[in-house]
Structure 1
Amino acid sequence: MEMHQHSLETLFEQLGLPSSRNDIQKFIEHYSHKLDHTAPLHTADFWNQSQSEFLKEAKEEDADWAEVVDQLDTLLRSEK
């Protein structure tokens, strides 16, 4: 199986969100305080159903997206 290296930009594209570095930083700044830091990323109420399912499956299946999903999770949880 071929593994792909995904970036935050491609993850945001996959989620149907604006994907420039500036857009991603704004997203993180806006939503980090809305994240329940004790709950899994995919359960946040700012995702739509398909985004939530994608994030959940990426983690459960340890898909090639899992690493960049973890990166987003860390950025959202560490933003002050």
Structure 2
Amino acid sequence: MDTSQHNLHTLFEQLGLPADQESIETFIAKYAPLPQEVALPDATFWTAAQSSFLHQGIEDDSDWAEVIDELDALLRH
């Protein structure tokens, strides 16, 4: 069982994206605001694998769900 703490840095690593603070901030600035009618996993900037991971994390209410929601909120502002 995975008992590690998930945060934005580990989520970005899991998604295969640069995970340092500056890269995360740049990503959010580039893609925000995400339109309300677009679900986070359906955004056009994800690869198929990234989208699948995000969908699965939300659907399964996995350990990743909370940090996925955090990223969603950051992209909506």
- In the superposition, the TM-score normalised over structure 2's length comes to 0.92
Distance of 2:58 and 2:37 partners within structure 1: 16
Q: Flag structure 1 segments of 5+ consecutive residues without an equivalent.
A: none
Aligned residues: 77
Tell me the residue number matched to 1:19.
19
Q: 1:1-80 maps to which residues of 2 (within 5 A)?
A: 3-33=3-33, 35-78=34-77
Distance of 2:41 and 2:52 partners within structure 1: 7
- In the superposition, the TM-score normalised over structure 1's length comes to 0.89
Distance of 1:2 and 1:25 partners within structure 2: 27
Distance of 2:57 and 2:48 partners within structure 1: 14
Deviating above 3 A after TM superposition, structure 1's stretches of 4 or more consecutive aligned residues are: 1-4
Deviation at 1:38, TM superposition (A): 1.5
Residue by residue over 1:21-75, the C-alpha shift from the partner in whole angstroms, topping out at 9 and shown as x without a partner, is: 1100000000114x23212100000000000000000000000000000000000
Matched-pair contact (CA < 8 Å) for 1:7–1:68: yes
Distance of 1:5 and 1:11 partners within structure 2: 10
